Amino acid sequence: MLIVSILAIPFTAAIIMLLLRRGSPAVPVSVSAIVFVSSCLLLRGVFSGNDAVLRVSLPGPYVPTFRADAASSVFAALAAFVWLAVSIYMPGYMKHEKRPESFYIWTLFTQTAVLGVFLAGDFLTMLLFFELMTVASYFWVIDRWDRKAVRAGYLYLFFSLAAGFLVAMGIVMTSEATGILPAVGSGPAASSDPRLFGWGIAMFALGFGIKAGIVPLHVWLPHAHSAAPTPASALLSGLLIKVGAYGLVRTAGMAGWGLADISGVEWFGPTLTAAGICSMLIGVVSALLQSDAKRLLAYHSISQMGYIAFGLGIGSCLGADGGVAVAGAVYHVMNHALFKAALFLGVGIIYVSTHETNLYRLGGLLRRFPVTAALMLVAVLGITGAPGLNGYASKTLLHHAAGIAAETGSRWLAWAERLFVVTGVGTAASFIKLYYLIFLRKPGEEAHRGKRADKSPADAREQSDMPAKGRAPAWMHAAMGLLAAAMVGIGVAPGFFAEKLVIPVVRTLGAEQGIAGLAAFALPDHVGSAFWNAGDVFSIIITLIVGMLVCIAGLRLGIFHWKPPVWMTEEGLGKMAAKGVLRLWDEGAREYHVIADNAHESGDALKNRLYSFVRKFDRARSGTVGRVTVTGISADAALLFVILALLIVWYIIVHPDIPESWLWIFRTQQ
């Protein structure tokens, strides 16, 4: 019942608004509030031991099922919470955009879709909501309908469609290998064809990996997330990529978390770990090089999704010891949703007043936006993992997991641990850069000496002395405050939330394997109290200090203005490849046309030749053959004569017996 209300209320509201063609910002807020309450009730019900299951018994091959276990309900509650905050924020922002009504409608549709993915009980239903999410959120990306938005929209749509097809193929392959339609959260099934099963898992991983923005499937993400209006960016980065993460969690569950002895999927953990590390590094390096605040945040989403993929991958590598890693990943999903949404909302508040997201043209806004600055500080500290805020909790868990992995003696897992630390430094550096350039820098101060100085000092001063167009509405701050409160709450009591929310989820995920009679995660009892120890706090503080040094060095030396050459970026490579393919295609088409035209011409020539040849016969003519002169014989007659002659020759040579019955003419009547 709760599941129905969670899904039906936003959907119905969206349909009604679509049909009435008008909408009020109060609708998304009230809908989100109701959905949040319902999902909290659902969470309570599930955590008290009653998994909610809903079967829509339709006739035919497709029976949609919905199921909320601990993992689904935690993800759904998280989505409902962030959605509530962003809905409160939306009206203040959207009144500066054209057509806010359609934005509200698509927001409600997307809300249905995201919650539907989390609550789906089988993969086909999950795919259904996944596709709905693709379509609905596409309208976010192209909300402005300008050139940039349309291009970003194409990238977003095509990658999302590809993700949908890959998931569909995953469903087909796994169901064909195991003989049953995979249910979400039922753990690994015995497969009769390990190779096919492995391919199926690969398809799932690729599909959800695209949605999660894992390198090398991330190309769409920075464009889409920076083109959308800021509330949509907040939700895209905060929640929609978490749908990919959720899918990866479920895929890892199907692949057995490395607990079950399933052949065909041994590659899963190591590959996901490697992809996660690549995402972490590439995301953070790209983020350092951005000058646009929203693009910087978008690249950080890639980096932070890398943390999550890293956790899931390590968890799948380590088997029973992987519980800490999975807990870290799940915890980081929650934390990243909170601080990334808050960061986008903060940038949006500044954008609404200054119409600027370029970091180098902002500056010195601390005085004008004290509340925003304070809330942003919380979010920035959260994402850098400063002790006392939520990022610390999950990053510590992940760091522990990396440590456990390094202890296994595998050399590349040891490297993984080191790279993990490097990413932490990069994250700190880029957010110190963001915060410094927006809030702390003195207006007009030339903070960069790169070769691509954006503006002269005078310009910069003019930009930042721009008169404030109204003050940021209190509601927008309230929304950020809601998220910040949650961040501080988790930061102050990381153990409490870990015990209450994260550990049950991990136990559920591990226990899925128990269904098949296999081992579950061995979680150490002290996970909840393991957060505060000198070593972790100290290492984070070192990370922050090194990050600050990197940031200062980068700003002084102008490294942050470096543009990587085309061949070093995946997008550039893609463009080059596309150009090559198009060129080849054009060449091929030209060749084809040449060949086809030639064939056509020679066909025509042949036809004409034949025609005139035949026509020759048809003309009456006279001639002399030997001593016989023939006059006025047409081709028909000549042909007749020739055939007759041939018949006579044939008869003379073969002289077949004439059948009796043919001779009745000659018979005399008796």
Partner 1 sequence: MPYSADALKIYLVLGLSSGAAGGLAVMLIPGARRRLRNMITLLFAASGAVFSWLTALSVFAGKGTRIGFVSGDLEWSLDPDPLGAVFGLIASTLWMFATVYSFGYMAEKSGQRVYYSFFLFSLSAAVGVAFAGNLVTLYLFYELLTLATYPLVIHERTPEAAAAGTKYIMYNLSGAGAILIAIIITYRYAGDPGFTGGPVLAGVNSPMLGWLLVMYIVGFGVKAALMPLHRWLPAAMVAPTPVSALLHAVAVVYAGVFGVIRVVYSVFGRGLAGQLGISRVLPWVAASTILAGVIVALRQDVLKRRLAYQTVSHLSYILLGAFTLQPWGLAGAMMQMITYPFMKMTLFFCAGIIARQTGETRISRMGGVGRKLPWTMAAFTAAALGMTGMLPLSTFWGKYYLMKGSVAGGMWPFALVLAASGLINAACFIPVVVQAFRGDKTPSCKEKGGSMALMFAPAAALVVIALVTGLVPGIVWPGAEAVTDWFFG
CB proximity list for 419: less than 8 A, separation 6 or greater? 277, 280, 281
Looking at beta carbons only, is 153 or 264 nearer to partner 1?
153
> Which residues, in sequence order, are bridge partners of residue 50?
none
Looking at beta carbons only, is 58 or 654 nearer to partner 1?
58
| Main-chain dihedrals φ then ψ at residue 152, nearest 5 degrees | -60, -40
Show the site string, 332-361: x = touches partner 1 by CB under 8 A, - = not: ------------------------------
- C-alpha span between 407 and 609 (Å, rounded): 85
Q: How far is the CB of 162 from partner 1 (least distance, A)?
A: 6
Contact 79, 107 (CB under 8 A): no
Number of residues this chain uses to bind partner 1 (CB under 8 A): 36
Looking at beta carbons only, is 61 or 656 nearer to partner 1?
61
597: buried, middle or exposed (CB in 10 Å: 19+, 13-18, 0-12)? exposed
Q: CA dist 417 to 11, 215, 274, 276, 394, Å?
A: 44, 18, 12, 12, 15
Which of 19, 20, 58, 625 is the binder for partner 1 (CB under 8 A)? 58
Contact 465, 443 (CB under 8 A): yes
Angle at 37 between CA 31 and CA 41, to 5 degrees: 140
Stretch that binds partner 1, among 57-65, 100-108, 556-564, 650-658 (CB under 8 A): 57-65
Looking at beta carbons only, is 585 or 650 nearer to partner 1?
585
Looking at beta carbons only, is 36 or 140 nearer to partner 1?
140
Looking at beta carbons only, is 77 or 163 nearer to partner 1?
163
SS (HEC) of 320-383: HHHHHHHHHHHHHHHHHHHHHHHHHHHHHHHHHHHCCCEHHHCCCCCCCCHHHHHHHHHHHHHH
374: buried, middle or exposed (CB in 10 Å: 19+, 13-18, 0-12)? middle
Show the site string, 140-159: x = touches partner 1 by CB under 8 A, - = not: --x--x----x--xx--xx-
Show the site string, 92-131: x = touches partner 1 by CB under 8 A, - = not: --------------------------------x--xx-xx
Looking at beta carbons only, is 125 or 423 nearer to partner 1?
125
Stretch that binds partner 1, among 3-11, 132-140, 503-511, 566-574 (CB under 8 A): 132-140
- C-alpha torsion angle, residues 92, 95, 98, 104 (rounded to 10): 60
Q: CA dist 273 to 308, 310, 480, Å?
A: 9, 5, 33
One-letter amino acid of 52: A
Q: How far is the CB of 128 from partner 1 (least distance, A)?
A: 5
- C-alpha span between 32 and 6 (Å, rounded): 9
Q: How far is the CB of 123 from partner 1 (least distance, A)?
A: 11
196 makes contact with partner 1 (CB under 8 A):
yes
Contact 156, 138 (CB under 8 A): yes
Looking at beta carbons only, is 34 or 169 nearer to partner 1?
169
Specify the pairing of strand 621-625 against strand 65-68. Answer: unpaired
Burial 537-568 (b: 16+ CB within 10 A, else e): beebeebbebbbebbeebbeeeebbeeeeeee
Looking at beta carbons only, is 22 or 616 nearer to partner 1?
22
Q: How far is the CB of 599 from partner 1 (least distance, A)?
A: 12
Which of 20, 49, 60, 451 is the binder for partner 1 (CB under 8 A)? 60
Which of 61, 517, 632, 656 is the binder for partner 1 (CB under 8 A)? 61
Looking at residues 367 to 426 of the shown chain, list those that interact with partner 1 (rule: CB under 8 A). none
Which of 162, 274, 414, 549 is the binder for partner 1 (CB under 8 A)? 162
Looking at beta carbons only, is 134 or 304 nearer to partner 1?
134
Q: How far is the CB of 69 from partner 1 (least distance, A)?
A: 23
Q: How far is the CB of 204 from partner 1 (least distance, A)?
A: 14
Looking at beta carbons only, is 9 or 124 nearer to partner 1?
124
Q: How far is the CB of 306 from partner 1 (least distance, A)?
A: 26
Which of 75, 93, 140, 199 is the binder for partner 1 (CB under 8 A)? 199
Which of 45, 51, 165, 274 is the binder for partner 1 (CB under 8 A)? 165
Q: CA dist 26 to 92, 305, 346, 450, Å?
A: 12, 32, 21, 47
Looking at beta carbons only, is 103 or 299 nearer to partner 1?
103
Looking at beta carbons only, is 130 or 369 nearer to partner 1?
130
Which of 31, 132, 221, 376 is the binder for partner 1 (CB under 8 A)? 132
Looking at beta carbons only, is 175 or 186 nearer to partner 1?
175
Contact 114, 133 (CB under 8 A): yes
Tokens read off for 324 = 């800490």
Show the site string, 172-191: x = touches partner 1 by CB under 8 A, - = not: xx-xx---------------
Tokens read off for 274 = 């490697």
Q: How far is the CB of 614 from partner 1 (least distance, A)?
A: 20
Which of 22, 62, 604, 644 is the binder for partner 1 (CB under 8 A)? 62
Count helices and strands in the chain by DSSP H and E runs = 23, 4
Specify the pairing of strand 52-55 against strand 65-68. Answer: antiparallel
One-letter amino acid of 331: Y
Contact 147, 195 (CB under 8 A): no
Looking at beta carbons only, is 119 or 128 nearer to partner 1?
128
Which of 164, 363, 385, 424 is the binder for partner 1 (CB under 8 A)? 164
Q: CA dist 537 to 73, 311, 543, Å?
A: 31, 20, 10
- C-alpha span between 331 and 382 (Å, rounded): 13
Show the site string, 568-587: x = touches partner 1 by CB under 8 A, - = not: -----------------x--
CA atoms within 13 A on the CB side of 196: 14
Q: How far is the CB of 582 from partner 1 (least distance, A)?
A: 11
Name the DSSP letter for residue 256. Answer: G
Q: How far is the CB of 194 from partner 1 (least distance, A)?
A: 14
Positions touching partner 1 (CB under 8 A) are: 58-62, 124, 127-128, 130-132, 134-135, 142, 145, 150, 153-154, 157-158, 161-162, 164-166, 168-169, 171-173, 175-176, 196, 199, 585, 589
